[in-house]
Copies of this chain bind each other. A is one copy, B any other.
Amino acid sequence: MMKPVKVGLLGLGTVGTGVVRIVEGHQEDLSNQVGSSISIAQILVKDRTKSRNIPVDASKLTEDPWDIVRNPEIDVIVEVMGGITQTKEYILEALERGKHIVTANKDLMALHGPEILAKAREKGCDVLYEASVAGGIPIIRTLIEGFSSDRITKIMGIVNGTTNYILTKMTQEGAAYSDVLKEAQELGYAESDPTSDVEGLDAARKMTILSTLGFRANVSLDNVSTKGISNVTQEDIQYAKRLGYEVKLLGIAERQDDFISVSVQPTMIKQTHPIASVNGVFNAVYVHGEAVGETMFYGPGAGEMPTATSVVADIVAVVKNMKLGVNGRQAQLSYNVVKLKTDEQIASKFFLLLHVEDRAGVLAQIAQVFSDCDVSIESVMQPTTPHKSSTEIIIITHEASKAAMNNVLKAFEGLAAVRKIKSVYRVEG
């Protein structure tokens, strides 16, 4: 038995509380695995006098993060407080002092991952961050280890539970976006300011992390083209259903030769695709490898215990590495250079919902635009309603480049027959 490993916990919110629960509840199992006990020696809180859901020794609580970062007794810092600029300072200082880091902070890792990992290598320390993406799914170690011999060509993820909850409710209950959002806020599934979730920023940060690992290249948040779900209508969802698709907020990272593209957008995904049936707050990451083909990893995306489980699994990994004397040597290297695909190189099928003039010859004009722009049409639907002729046209294209599609949309602006481009979606599956 080694001497007990001492953990300093930055933050005692939902996830922090879960970490305390697991570490204290599973002492025997944990020490059987790593050969030493793990103790939470110090905890950063905002208010020492506040009452807690779990019993914690008051003498362990501090309101000053530097108390923990500079405590020479602490071996591992577990960061579950969130925040970016100040939190980075604490973590860099802790690394400077030879402490290992476990963090659940996707914002920090998406924005400053390369800098933090470089400092960790320099100091021979571990920085593990399994809980930062898809809380309960061990996707980060899977990308690093499970796919080490393969060449990943595509990662497609439902990595934000709030938006998946909203889209699932809209699909299953026919409710409007704003009503479902309000309900989600009341239930605590969405924040009072939901922007980061619904506008896709949270998902974009997670895709930054996943694509950096999957493509072994430092993808930055700026590289991710991002669009949220706030304009998704019930009409879009119903038309998607009729055509055999579900609307999901998908993060999509693709690689072809040396070029990559990473995006987040509401996407129509074929109902038969395994990711289409991932509902509610669940997350899933679909990975396509050249050799392995299709795989998918499914589980809870957030929540006290799932996220805490991933954090503690990372603590176990750090302690095993301490025992083996190999900290700081297993991080994945980003040896590829990021070369972004141009809009000419990014290709997919597209769904368009157009509001058009109600007269003969309109479809011919529209078809001509597609043809002029070299985009071929897979199917056209003109839904009829009992009492009036339709003024809506739904088009699904064959695979076309984003650039060609942009040309189509631009041409429609100058075409009187097209009154409004109501929706444009990427189509997958």
In the assembled complex, the Cα of A145 lies from the Cα of B33 at a distance in Å of 10
A143 to chain B, nearest CB (A): 10
Q: Which stretch of A67-75, A197-205, A295-303, A353-361 is in the interface?
A: A295-303
Are A29 and B145 closer than 8 Å at their CB atoms? no
Which residue of B18, B141, B151, B309 contacts A29 across the interface (Cβ within 8 Å)?
B151
In the assembled complex, the Cα of A293 lies from the Cα of B141 at a distance in Å of 19
A293 and B298 contact, Cβ closer than 8 Å, known pairs A26-B151, A317-B148 = no
A189 at the interface (CB under 8 A from B): no
Are B297 and A147 closer than 8 Å at their CB atoms? no
A312 at the interface (CB under 8 A from B): yes
A268 at the interface (CB under 8 A from B): no
| Tier of interface size on chain A | 35 or more
Which residues of chain B are within 8 angstroms of A141 by Cβ–Cβ distance? 141-142, 145-146
A330 at the interface (CB under 8 A from B): yes
Which residues of chain B are within 8 angstroms of A313 by Cβ–Cβ distance? 145-150
Copies in the complex: 2
Are B137 and A295 closer than 8 Å at their CB atoms? yes
Which residue of B32, B295, B298, B330 contacts A335 across the interface (Cβ within 8 Å)?
B32
Are A293 and B305 closer than 8 Å at their CB atoms? yes
A136 and B305 contact, Cβ closer than 8 Å, known pairs A142-B142, A277-B277 = no
Which residue of B136, B145, B151 contacts A293 across the interface (Cβ within 8 Å)?
B136
For A200-233 the 0/1 string (1 means CB < 8 A from B) is 0000000000000000100000000000000000
Are A316 and B274 closer than 8 Å at their CB atoms? no
A54 at the interface (CB under 8 A from B): no
Which residues of chain B are within 8 angstroms of A333 by Cβ–Cβ distance? 32-33
A294 at the interface (CB under 8 A from B): yes
Are A30 and B149 closer than 8 Å at their CB atoms? yes
Interface of A toward B, CB cutoff 8 Å: 18, 22, 26, 29-30, 32-33, 130, 136-138, 141-142, 145-151, 216, 274, 277, 282, 289, 291-300, 303, 305-306, 308-313, 315-317, 320, 324, 326, 329-330, 333, 335
Sampled A-B contacts (7; CB under 8 Å): A148-B313, A148-B317, A150-B309, A274-B277, A295-B300, A297-B298, A324-B329
Closest 9 pairs (CB-CB, A-B): A138-B146, A149-B312, A295-B299, A291-B305, A296-B298, A291-B309, A148-B316, A136-B292, A292-B309
